[in-house]
Each structure stands twice: as structure tokens, then as C-alpha cells.
Amino acid sequence: MSDIIKLLPDHVANQIAAGEVVQRPASIVKELMENAIDAGATKIELIIRDAGKNLIQVVDNGTGMSDTDARLAFERHATSKIATTEDIFRISTKGFRGEALASIAAVAQVELKTKTQDAVTGTNIYIEGGGFQFQEPIQTTEGSNFSVKNLFYNVPARRKFLKNNNIEFRHILDEFQRVALAHENLDFELFHNDDIIFRLRKTNTLQRIIDVFGRKLQPLMVPIKEDLGWVKLDGFVAKPEGAKKVRGEQFLFVNGRFFRSAYFNKAVQEAFDGLLLPGYIPTFFLFLELDPEKVDVNIHPQKTEVKFEDENLIFALIRSTIKRSLGIYNVAPGLDFERDSSIDAFMHQVNKGSGFKQPEISVDRNYNPFTQERSPAGEKVAMADIYQQNIPSEPSKINLFEDEDFEEDLMRLPNGYWLYNKSGKTLMLDLGRMHRLIVSERNAKKKHSSEKQTLLFSLEYHMNAIEQNKYRSIKKFLPGLGFEMVLANDNVLRIDAVPHGLKETQVMKFMEQLFEILDYKTEEEFLSFYHNQWNKIDSKSTFDFLYKMDAEQVIKDFTELGFPEYTASGKRCFLEIPIDELKNKF
């Protein structure tokens, strides 16, 4: 049998290796921005075209590279970050494998312009599909300017599997935000198709969070801080009202590097036990600092998964520190993590009777506030007489049976359900589910035409950059749904009209939830998500079902649907009460 094992050509091997590092445009953004930080840049500019498919450009004012270094940087396993095996276990820089630039150049057209501080001229290098084209001197500013064009032009099968521009740009935003949050002491700018998306100036951590995610977060932020010597924990968590049903604003960093950890996410979730509704995820921005030798960042090609030497201790640190901070800021009741020992000593002395005397309280145990009240003139008035006075009338919550169709057939129970006699049967009704089914059927028929209501005063919705990107992707649908909106300036959406039936008090929450539900969704899915969200808003807002007249109307509308027993999700709308069986209980 002839030999069948052969060495792959260099360009094929490089393309295969590039698959680990360059998965999509966002992968390149991450590598180039981190290289700029490692080069000591204080200002980094990111320029994107067509969600990075046609251009990713990173310009920095770092130290730059010499002619030799610039050429060598594109060779595989060429790096200035490590020299020995031991260096891998005390990594303090971002990139260190020496694979990124070689991998990027293998699947794109790459141009580098760079210059060191003391050099008279810089150097210009152009590489296409991994093949070196030319290197020449050039007049350029200090630092580096990388341009990556036509990603995967030579690997069409991989380019075909890139998502649409909205999704790919959202991934770029994710990487940009992670780097910007971890380095609040640097200036960052992001442009997409000539539009300025971010212009971030050197600041503190809290202000950087607000600059990235919008000022709506500012009143919700609770500071987190603990220093145990071998590990430091800083950052912020949002109060429970800042929690969401979709993931997005959950950030963990170690030594300035973003990482993912389901284990540490659980620590945060446990710290919020009893404070969040089921299905909600807390918002947090947490920064860990510890000896690099206690962290292994070399277990994942994108370095987004790390391994800690003292994982269980850090878990406990995160959970307890957040719990304590929530208690200090009166978010969680009854938390006593920092009880002063002097208080215990004081109470011990009190109990021993050493001169301290607890205050005595005199209580009239025969007092009954319901037996009598004094009028302004000092006369005693029986409580029964008070209830016979004139009281402003309102629809009764139970026992209003004047309507002939419902005479003695309908009664509201204390638990919110209603009893209703129908065709000789007694039913327990869940009017909330019945009403949601009615609204859903009604909206399915009319599909929310362009019927709209103009607001007396325009509303302003302050968007962060992510929401702005989502807005641009759906704005073509909004006029047909009854919205009139204008992007007044960089981050303010002016709302002049909304669909008929959407209350003014609901608009802001509706928009926020709409942007949330669109996370990582395509434009084509927008309408179905919109109608689903509208049904939720519409069905929750119309009735509280306290009054008999409301219940009667729901029952009439529900009867027109055929009185279905189950909702579309399989939940019961009503339950028959077996009266005969109940009689046997007596």
C-alpha cells in the first residue's frame, strides 16, 4: 500500500488554523483591539463597514512597530508577549499565542501602517490571503493602523455562513463593549458605515457603564467592593428592577480580561435569591483581580473561558459580597453581614443587668380600636354608625346581580377567581386567561393595522448603542404599525404617535421590552415578536377584573369564541365545580 499521509500546503494549514481564531468579524475586532491595548495605546478607533465583512480598521496611538517587527508579526507563533513555557502561567497581556495576525491574514486582505516614536518614517505592509505582497516605507503617525478587508474572500464557503449585518454587527458591539468596560482609563471610538456609534472618553468604571448602556442604569447601580489581599472584587450590580429575562448585561472580568463562567453567574443569581421573579437574570459588572499564576487563560482559543485555582472561594466571595451590598443599600431586607461585635457586648451587659435598663412600655391590653371612635366634638361614635354614613359609590366588587342575564349567577372569590353558573354547571373562571385569549384572537384578526393615536406631548426614549442598532433594523416596519418616531439626536428617540390602544404610561416599558425581545433576532422575525409582545401588554392592561360589569363583558366575549377550555399554551381557562360531590361532604 502506498503512503497516503502528506503535509498540507502552508496556505491550507493557515486557513484551517484561522478557523480557531477567526470565526466572524467580531473575532478580528477582539484581537486587534487587544493588541492595541498591549501596545500601550491610550486612544483606540474602530471603523467598521458592512458589519465588518468588507472592512475592519483599528487605529491606535501605541508604541508602533519597527520594520522588522511589522513583518515578523504576521508569522505564526511570532509574539512579543512570552518567551518561555513558564510565561504562559503568568500571563498579564491580552494576546500571547502569536496566531492572531497570521490567521487573519490567511482569510482576508490586510494592510498595516505603523511607526515607532523615535523612527523618521514608518512602514506599510500588505498581505493577501496569507501571501506577502509588499513592504515599503511610509509617512504615518506614531502607533499602528490595521485594515482588514473582504473577510473570507478566499474561503467563500465560510463567508456564506456569516449572518446578516444586524447580527454580525451586534457581535462586534459585544466585543467592543467588553474591551471598553475593562479599560475605562482609555479613549474609544466606534464608527459603522460612517455613523458614530460610540465616542467614549477616559473616565471611571461607573461612568463607563453608563456611557455604554445608557443613563437608565445610573439610579439602579449598587457598588460591589471587597479586598481579601489575594483577590480583589470591584464592580456594580443593578437593583432587582434592572433584571431582565434575556441575557446581555452580565459581565465578568479577571485582570482586565472578559470571561464567561456559568458557575460564577450562579453565585450572582444566588445572591439575589428572593428578590427576583422566576426567569429574571440580574444585571452585573464584576471585576476580579488576583495573581496571574492563579488563573489559567490558555484553555480556550478565544480566551473567553478561564480556570481558577481557588474557584470555590471566589464563588463564595462573589455571593456574600453582593448580598452584603444589597443589604447596605436597603435592597434586601434583614441582611446582617457586618454586625458590630460591640452591639452584642452591649446587649450582653443589658441582659446581665449591669446598670443599663431597657425602656419599659405600658400597653392597655383591653383597648379595642373597633369598638369606638371619638368625633371632633369629643362624642363617642359606634363603628357601625360610621359605616352607615354616606360613602362615595363605586361598582361593587361582588353581589351585583341586577343584570337579568347574570342574575345570581356570578360572584367574585377572595382569591381573584370568579364563580359562574352556566347551563346548570358551576364553573370557577380565570378571567385573566380568558381575557388574554380574547385579546389574542382579536389582534390576530386585525393584525394591528396602521390605526394610531397622536400623543398630546411627545415622549423621549433614551437609547443605548445596542438599542439604536436594533431601532435602525426595524424602523421601516414602525409606521405601518401605528408608530411615529424620529431619532432626534445621537441617543434620543422622539415618539409622536403610538398604536391605538397603547396607553401613554405603557410606551416606555413597551419599547424597552421590544428591544429586549429582539436580541439576536432577524428583521424577518420582528413582526411575529411584535404581535406577541403587544398581546402581553394589551391583555395585562385592560381589566383588573374587580368589578362585575367587567367580568360580565369578558364572559360575553369569551362565549362568542365558543367558551374554549384551554389557552393556546394548554392552560385551563375554567374549572367545573362538582356541586353534587360537595353536597356529600356535609
Cβ atoms 236, 253 nearer than 8 A: no
What is the reported pLDDT for 221?
95
Q: Which residues contact 92 (CB under 8 A, 6 or more apart)?
A: 255, 292
Please provide the DSSP assignment of 200-261 as one string. E-S--HHHHHHHHH-GGGGGGEEEEEEE-SSEEEEEEEE-GGG-BSS--SEEEEETTEEEB-
End-to-end CA distance of the chain: 92
Q: From CA 323, how far away is CA 314, in angstroms rounded?
A: 14
Q: Which residue has the cell 342575564?
A: 405
Q: From CA 134, how far away is CA 71, in angstroms rounded?
A: 10
- Report the candidate in 505, 503, 488 with the shortest Cα–Cα distance to residue 453: 503
- Report the candidate in 224, 206, 217, 219 with the shortest Cα–Cα distance to residue 324: 224
What is the reported pLDDT for 137?
96
* Three cell numbers written together for 24: 466572524
* Residue spans of beta strands (DSSP E) within 280-325: 284-290, 295-296, 307-308
Q: Where are the alpha helices (DSSP H) in 107-199?
A: 156-160, 165-182
Cβ atoms 217, 242 nearer than 8 A: yes
Cβ-based burial of 211 (10 A; exposed 0-12, middle 13-18, buried ≥19): buried
Q: From CA 495, how far away is CA 399, in angstroms rounded?
A: 44
Domains and CATH numbers, the chain: 10-200 (3.30.565.10), 205-328 (3.30.230.10), 434-541 (3.30.1370.100)
Q: From CA 314, how far away is CA 263, in angstroms rounded?
A: 10
- Report the candidate in 107, 148, 142 with the shortest Cα–Cα distance to residue 126: 148
Per-residue pLDDT of the chain (586 residues; tens, 9 = 90+): 567 777 767 666 666 666 667 899 999 999 999 999 999 999 999 999 999 999 999 999 999 999 999 999 898 766 655 445 554 555 555 554 457 898 899 999 999 999 999 999 999 999 999 899 999 999 999 999 999 999 999 999 899 999 988 889 989 999 999 999 999 999 999 999 988 899 999 999 999 999 999 888 899 999 999 999 999 999 999 999 888 877 778 999 999 999 999 999 999 999 999 898 888 899 999 999 999 888 876 544 555 778 888 899 999 999 999 999 999 988 754 434 444 343 344 334 434 444 444 445 555 555 554 444 444 444 444 433 433 353 333 333 333 333 444 444 888 887 778 888 877 788 999 888 888 788 777 766 655 445 788 988 899 888 887 788 778 878 888 888 888 998 877 678 899 998 877 778 778 878 887 777 665 556 667 777 777 666 665 554 444 556 677 788 888 889 988 899 988 778 889 998 887 777 777 7
Q: From CA 567, how far away is CA 441, in angstroms rounded?
A: 11
Cβ atoms 106, 132 nearer than 8 A: no
What is the reported pLDDT for 433?
83
**Collapsed DSSP state (helix, strand, coil) of residue 108:** coil
Q: Read off the DSSP letter of residue 566.
A: B
**Collapsed DSSP state (helix, strand, coil) of residue 377:** coil
Cβ atoms 222, 237 nearer than 8 A: yes
Q: Read off the DSSP letter of residue 360.
A: P
- Chain centroid to Cα 532, Å, comes to 20
Cβ atoms 112, 155 nearer than 8 A: no
Q: From CA 498, how far away is CA 458, in angstroms rounded?
A: 10
What is the reported pLDDT for 172?
95
Q: Which residues contact 506 (CB under 8 A, 6 or more apart)?
A: 537, 541
Cβ-based burial of 576 (10 A; exposed 0-12, middle 13-18, buried ≥19): exposed
**Collapsed DSSP state (helix, strand, coil) of residue 453:** strand
